[in-house]
Structure 1
Amino acid sequence: MREVLMRLSIVVVVITVVKIKRIEGVRAVLVFGDSLVDSGNNNYLPTTARADSPPYGIDYYPTHLPTGRFSNGYNLPDLISQHIGAEPTLPYLSPLLNGRNLLVGANFASAGIGILNDTGIQFVGILRMFQQFVLFEKYQQRLSAEVGEAQAKSIVNGALVLMTLGGNDFVNNYFLTPFSARSRQFTVPQYCRYLISEYRKILMRLYELGARRVLVTGTGPLGCVPAQLATRSRNGECVPELQQAAQIFNPLLVQMTRDINSQVGSDVFVAVNAFQMNMNFITDPQRFGFVTSKIACCGQGRFNGVGLCTIFSNLCPNRDTYAFWDPYHPSQRALGFIVRDIFSGTSDIMTPMNLSTIMAIDSNIY
């Protein structure tokens, strides 16, 4: 009996060590940005920008319950983590983010925020970028307490970082009202240049805080989302003003990331052409197995693009056949195509390299 207990103890110790080593051996993932990547931080904040009620999460496995993700299931960072064999990052504000879970990384994103601090003011208590960075510094302190300062620095330097910003600066700021404060202050090209100058400060701060591999997503095709089709489009055509704004902003973003990389002497920042990735299935939804890229699965009004996705909304029976889940956010299946492009896309959509190349290079470094 004593021998059996000793063997069981050894097995438990071995399993524990293997689990810890597996967590330590897999690259950490750190996430910053807005609702496209928020995994539930806003659940803990005094804000209306939240996805914590049904039917959000209807396809989330295994619970099929809302998680705070603006998705019918998984979101972009979840799918990237799955592809690299990492566990999904917990929201930084989650009480579960402690102990060894800190080694997996953390998600600091908050729905409604933008590059600018005045973006999303209607959502009140959200985590603007400077606040996300304050929490990132606290995360590093907690990580150091868990594994030591040197190991914590190594984890942060070796982490894959996802930064998704910009869309709200247009739809929830500049174009929010016909004569918004920002639209009276700037023309669209001037505003795009201003956003890029502010975004550069954010990325440089992220670099100062230790990030060394950062995917920076440009804005999607803002004029083609169901919310804009519902309010600004006559016959379902993409709204020209918003499309043009995105097409001015995104090339400036690519150039800015190149400039920073040249300044720091390394390919730290990788520009992700989310505009083209989305346009692929928006312009030819049938080729991707979608029945529509104009009508949201969950919503009401024209194109299901009016208001919020709630328990009272129209809800499609098969989310896999809709490119958009709600008035603003792609469905889980659509995100799968975006992640595929992030891993294997050519240099016109992943600049200067795709994520598969990054993983191959970094496997020799970290």
Structure 2
Amino acid sequence: MERNLAVLMMVMAMMMSTSSASSLVTFIFGDSLTEVGNNNYLQLSLAKSNYPYYGIDFAGRKATGRFTNGRTIGDIISAKLGIPSPPPYLSLSPTNDAILKGVNYASGGAGILNDTGLYFIQRLSFDDQIKGFEKTKQWMKAKIGDEAANKLCNEAVYFIGIGSNDYVNNFLQPFLAAGQQYTHDEFVELLISTLSEQLLRLYQLGARKMVFHGLGPLGCIPSQRVKSSRRQCLSQVNQWVQQFNSKVNKLIANLNAHLPSSQLIFADTYQEVLDLIENPTAYGFKVSNTSCCNVDTKLGGLCLPNSKLCSNRSDYVFWDAFHPSDAANVVLAQHFFNTIFSNSPSPAPLPSS
């Protein structure tokens, strides 16, 4: 635990350094919480958000493929670091110089397991995203040579946030095999063993500074609350999430102990997200038990173009049945920085509704 905190502070201090901020390279892996448009390029994908009212509070009021009304946490953190938010991997070509400045591989519906989100038809699983990074590195070598590409990858920071869909769009779905085939203890061991191989693969490709974002209280998101007759958080789901987080934390400590020069971090955001949901007024919100967009969870829980919106989007913690609002993402990103730095920047402004 102490080593993890020390490494995290070192990595984040490097990221916040004004001398290095402009040259900082970040690679982002994950699901719909951090996607910036990869699924737009997957013709058959059913996990898309490139339509109104997504993006209504984003620059130009444009739906870009982000699963929120505005910015992701990744967008906000990039702005705080003074760097552009990395573009989607599938938007880039081998000759594009943007590959040298950071890439976002995140894909809505993605999971640690390759069969997670199977009913979305197309999405980039974590394995697919790692293969994408491997291809990106080959493109880098062709542009700047092996030595420079290896150095760039060793010095870059890798943000990884994945695992939510392995629960929401796999284990917790009664019509899928995982929930019937495994007990939760067996399922979480499958997740951890698979994740271990994936993180090792990234390390072999040159990743050294990796920050893995733990899961939040999935039992409290609107899509799960509707399963409760009183719209309460599902305590069993939250207990499973905490079990997953604990095992990932131990996995990362073990990898750090055995991989030379590794600087892997487990960023536990569970309690912060839970506090935001349980005490929304303390953060300037009014509603945290349902979403701003009036969604039909039987049809997937996304904000369709014919959906009805709340009157004030900044009052709501959740935008749709799964994803935080722009205003909530601001709070969560700022809290993360405040946890690490006592002299962190002032909060990003809330979007205008």
Give the alignment's TM-score, normalised by structure 2. 0.86
Could you tell me whether the CA contact under 8 Å between 1:216 and 1:270 is conserved in 2?
yes
Residues 143 and 55 of structure 1: CA distance in aligned 2, closer, same or farther (over 3 Å): same
Give the letter aligned to residue 107 of structure 2.
S
Contact kept? 2:301, 2:320, Cα under 8 Å? no
SS across alignment from 2:291: coil
Structure 2 counterparts to residues 129-148 of structure 1, below 5 A: 129-148=126-145
Letter in 1 for 2:207: A
Offset, 1:335: 1.4
Q: Is the 8 A contact 2:21 2:82 kept in 1?
A: no
Q: CA deviation at 1:41?
A: 0.2
Residue 296 of structure 2 is aligned to residue 298 of structure 1: no
CA distance in 1, matches of 2:154, 2:105: 17
Quote the residue 2:348 is aligned against.
Answer: none
Whole-angstrom distance in 2 between the partners of 1:95 and 1:214:
23
Q: How far apart in 1 are the matches of 2:329 and 2:188?
A: 26
1:325 counterpart residue number: 319
Task: Report the alpha carbon displacement of residue 185 of structure 1 after superposing the two structures with TM.
Answer: 2.2
CA deviation after TM superposition for structure 1 residue 308, in Å: 2.0
CA RMSD across the alignment: 2.4
Superposed displacement of residue 23, structure 1: 10
Q: Distance in 1 between matches of 2:311 and 2:143?
A: 45
CA distance in 2, matches of 1:37, 1:306: 19
For residues 328 and 297 of structure 1, the distance between their equivalents in structure 2, rounded to whole angstroms, comes to 11
CA distance in 2, matches of 1:167, 1:175: 11
Residues 246-257 of structure 1 aligned to structure 2 (within 5 Å):
246-257=241-252
Any idea what the Cα deviations from partners look like across 1:112-171, whole Å, max 9, x if unmatched? 011111111001111122221221111112222333322222221111111111111111
For 2:112, the equivalent position in structure 1 comes to 115
Partner of 2:46: 48
Aligned-residue offset at 1:24: 9.4
TM-superposition CA deviations, 1:308-331 (whole Å, max 9, x none): 211111212322211111110111
Q: Deviations over 1:11-35 (max 9, x none)?
A: xxxxxxxxxxx99942111011111
* 3-state SS of 1:112 partner: coil
Greater CA drift, 110-119 or 314-323: 314-323
User: In the aligned structure 1, how far is the partner of 2:190 from the partner of 2:342?
Assistant: 29
How far apart are the structure 1 equivalents of 2:94 and 2:234? 41
Cα 1:321/1:333, change in 2 over 3 Å: same
- Report the counterpart of residue 215 of structure 2 in structure 1: 219
Query: Is residue 36–residue 111 contact of structure 1 (8 Å, CA) maintained in 2?
Result: yes
Name the structure 2 match of 1:85. Answer: 82
8 Å CA contact 2:55–2:69 kept in 1: the answer is yes
Q: SS at 1:215's partner residue? A: strand
Count of aligned positions: 325
Aligned to 1:308: 302
1:35-93 superposed Cα distances (whole Å, 9 cap, x missing partner)? 111110000002010110000001111x1110001111111221121111111100011
> Which runs of at least 4 in structure 1 moved beyond 4 Å after TM superposition?
22-25, 95-98, 354-357
Provide closer, same or farther for how the CA distance between residues 23 and 64 of structure 1 changes in structure 2, counting only shifts above 3 A: farther
Contact 2:295 2:320 in 1 (8 A): no
Using the size of structure 1 for normalisation, the TM-score is 0.83
The residue identity in structure 2 corresponding to 1:201 is: E
Structure 2 distance, partners of 1:80, 1:339, is 6
Larger RCO: 1 or 2 (CA < 8 Å, sep 6+):
2
Output the amino acid matched with 2:212.
V
Change in CA separation of 1:156 and 1:24 when aligned onto 2, cut-off 3 Å:
farther
Deviation at 1:236, TM superposition (A): 2.0
Q: Which runs of 5+ in 1 are unaligned?
A: 1-21, 347-353, 358-366
Q: What CA distance in whole angstroms lies between the structure 2 residues aligned with 1:23 and 1:40?
A: 27
Matched, 1:127 2:127: no
- Seen in structure 2, the aligned counterparts of structure 1 residues 88 and 241 have a Cα distance that, compared at 3 Å, is same
SS of alignment partner, residue 158 of structure 2 = strand
Would the aligned equivalents of 2:94 and 2:139 in 1 still touch at CA under 8 Å?
A: no
Q: Are 2:177 and 1:181 equivalent residues in the alignment?
A: yes
1:342 corresponds to: 336
Flag the structure with larger Rg.
1
CA distance in 2, matches of 1:356, 1:262: 31
Task: Note if contact 2:173-2:179 (Cα within 8 Å) is conserved in structure 1.
Answer: no
User: Structure 1 CA distance, aligned partners of 2:299 and 2:271?
Assistant: 22
Q: Structure 2 CA distance, aligned partners of 1:208 and 1:156?
A: 11
The corresponding residue for 2:349 is: none
Distance 1:95 1:144 in 2: 16
Alignment of 1:280 with 2:275, yes or no, is: yes
How high is the sequence identity, in percent, across the aligned residues? 36
